[in-house]
Amino acid sequence: MRLLQTAVCFLLVALSAMTFAADERKAVFDLTTGDAKRIETHVIGAIKDLSDYYAKEGSDFKAVVVISGDAYKFFIDDLERSPYKDDTDLKAVRAKLKPMLEELHVKYGVRFDLCGQGMKMRNIHPDTVFPFVNTDKSKYVYLINWQNAGYAYIPVS
């Protein structure tokens, strides 16, 4: 009898875990564009819309943004110590984007992963990026890991 109770309990836990996993939607955004408007619409706006949509459907939405290419510049916190220090247009755009990106991280739980290999090639020091950005792996490692974890791939170039 004890064995039957244990088996039933295990089955219920397994079914609960499967139900919980089915109520989760996940996406990894491969961000390479240097166009701030595209970031606003195709990343920030899209993540908010998807989060709202899936919440109405009864599902959780998790998002990760993997950053490389021309998108690096939008994730620099200390522009004066970066290769982008002379980009006057960037200062105004970054001032607008930074609170939006912080909101994604804090309110929506979005993770930001910036390609560490590209940072080295561009002489971007890890301590100059926003504090909520991870920089410990290459773009390819991040993308492979997230896709193998079940995240749908969404390119934003």
Q: pLDDT tens across 67-124, in order? A: 999 999 999 999 999 999 999 999 999 999 999 999 999 999 999 999 999 999 999 9
For residue 46, the one-letter residue type is A
Q: Per-residue pLDDT averaged across 46-55, rounded?
A: 98
- First and final C-alpha spacing in the chain: 60
Q: Which CA distances in Å does 63 have to 20, 29, 147?
A: 17, 7, 12
Q: Is the pLDDT of residue 17 over 90?
A: no
pLDDT of residue 3: 53
pLDDT of residue 22: 56
pLDDT of residue 19: 46
Parse the chain into domains and list their residue ranges. 24-156
Q: Is the pLDDT of residue 20 over 70?
A: no
Q: Per-residue pLDDT averaged across 113-141, rounded?
A: 96
Q: Is the pLDDT of residue 24 over 70?
A: yes
Q: Is 8 exposed, middle or buried (0-12, 13-18, 19+ CB in 10 A)?
A: exposed
Q: Per-residue pLDDT averaged across 25-35, rounded?
A: 98
Q: Which of 3.40.1260.10, 3.40.50.300, 3.40.50.150, 3.90.550.10 is the CATH number of 24-156? A: 3.40.1260.10
pTM of the model: 0.85
Helix segments in the chain, DSSP class H: 2-22, 36-39, 46-56, 88-108, 116-121, 139-148
Q: Per-residue pLDDT averaged across 17-33, rounded?
A: 80
